[in-house]
Structure 1
């Protein structure tokens, strides 16, 4: 077995129905316990802001890029792993000194450099993409916390979390046509709609609680974030299916890797940041 592994293999022998049911119950318990432990830690860091939140984002970025490399580097080369971690450290320093635009520009450049340094050993152009991909999500979250402030980053988090909960509930209760069967067979159109509804409800609640100038606009913004978040989820699912892995890692019991938990957020956060800095600013919605 190689020393670098991206998680369990997607192909596994079928289990009996009773064993599957027991396994699902056990997995659900582990997932709930993990969420109860990690959720308050994340929310406390978000509330504290400053270097506490930046520190959480920096650690998350390093873990996420490490998981990304382990998924897409075909021979799991340590060189690609350490080059990507070093590149992400440089990007975090650039963000602290020059802000999100500078960090994104450096991330793109370093992505090309990491890809070129790996040569043909990784077997995928996706290796270099990981650095700007993770950077965009982290920079979006940092910008939301530092500029509009705490309420808007809470809005973003709750919208994405509500999407996951609503999609899971509606998908299980209603079922129906698959959303993207070749990429993520369990996702349904009913789940997407349920996620949009849940995001709208939670989003407008946060907007009213925060005293937003036009809180009812959250009924438009939050469902759109739900769609964006689901697109981010599908993108990571496509990457995992391409490289035949089930989870990005085994870091979080019952949840897989960090990327498996924040794939929607990595896309939703920068989209919300761009919206708030452009149309949202002119609409004065928050």
Structure 2
């Protein structure tokens, strides 16, 4: 969790700036990430063919969601920035509040370091950041965005636990070794994958510029 927080604090502003001032490279990034993510899921689920197919489809769905959301004519760039900010806020809030408050474990058999207080902290941080994004973008309803931010935090933590469960079942610490000291790409974006799929599904269901309109 600490490595995830450090990544968000140090690399986050750089990535946000890159997203804001120039995003054409996202198509290339998605194309490069797809085979890497599938390879890492294969490492975690190769003994379970059905699980591998579902995991691969899940990751591809997230990449398609990323591209589809970004290329929306209205608030495409803002939507991606908002999702990234909420997921990072979730990680940061969960780490700091969880470290300070401690308490009951969230899922001790899957991820012993996660606590219920950390989840609440992540939800609070994400709610504040989500509402702030609405004010910065001058779009959306503040209260509704705060509620959605809480939901994103829960979904992101669920995505994190899903990947942790797969690693535990496979008997490995990391999904891969692509990033020295940080493990694989899935280790860094497991929560983001879940959030992208979730938001894209809701966007399709609302058939509009949600949540900005």
Q: Per the alignment, in what secondary structure is the counterpart of residue 281 of structure 1?
A: coil
Match in the other structure for 2:198: 271
* 2:184 matched residue in structure 1: 257
Q: 1:144-163 alignment to 2 at 5 Å?
A: 144-147=69-72, 148-163=75-90
Distance 1:34 1:220 in 2: 22
Aligned equivalent of 1:44, options 14, 18, 26: 18
Mapped partners of 1:207, 1:263: distance in 2: 25
Which residue number in structure 2 is paired with residue 64 of structure 1?
37
Question: In the aligned structure 2, how far is the partner of 1:242 from the partner of 1:209?
Answer: 42
> Is it true that 1:221 corresponds to 2:142 in the alignment?
no
Give deviations 1:11-43, integer Å, cap 9, x for gaps: xxxxxxxxxxxxxxxx86x98479635762575
For the residue of structure 1 that corresponds to 2:112, the secondary structure is: strand
Which one has the largest radius of gyration?
1
Which residue does the alignment assign to 1:138?
63
Instruction: Name the counterpart of 2:51.
Output: 126
Aligned residues of 2:155 and 2:191 also touching (Cα < 8 A): yes
Structure 2 unmatched runs, 5+: none
Compute the displacement of 1:150 (Å). 0.6
CA distance, structure 2, for counterparts of residue 153 and residue 189 of structure 1:
27
Equivalents in 1 of 2:89, 2:147: separation in Å? 15
Equivalenced residues, count: 211
In the alignment, is the contact (CA less than 8 A) between 1:159 and 1:226 conserved in 2? yes
Describe the shift of the 1:280–1:175 C-alpha distance in structure 2 as closer, same or farther (beyond 3 A).
farther
Instruction: Output the TM-score relative to the length of structure 1.
Output: 0.67
Which residue of the partner structure matches residue 166 of structure 2?
239
Unmatched segments (≥5 aa) in structure 1:
1-26, 74-121
**1:34-58 Cα shifts (integer Å, max 9, x gaps):** 96357625751564223x1111111
Say which SS state the counterpart of residue 208 (structure 2) adopts: helix
Distance in 1 separating the partners of 2:8 and 2:208: 37
CA distance in 1, matches of 2:57, 2:16: 23
Cα distance in 1, alignment partners of residues 134 and 67 from structure 2 = 19
- Distance verdict in 2 for CA 1:227–1:242, change over 3 Å: same
Show CA shifts across 1:192-233 (max 9, x none).
000000001111111110111323311110110100010000
CA RMSD between the two structures: 2.6
What residue number does 1:6 align with? Answer: none
CA-CA distance at 1:131 after TM superposition = 1.9
SS state of the match for residue 278, structure 1? helix
| 1:174 alignment partner, one of 101, 105, 108 | 101
What per-residue deviation string (whole Å, max 9, x for no partner) do you get for residues 109-137 of structure 1?
A: xxxxxxxxxxxxx3543222232111111
User: CA–CA distance in 2 between the matches of 1:33 and 1:170?
Assistant: 18
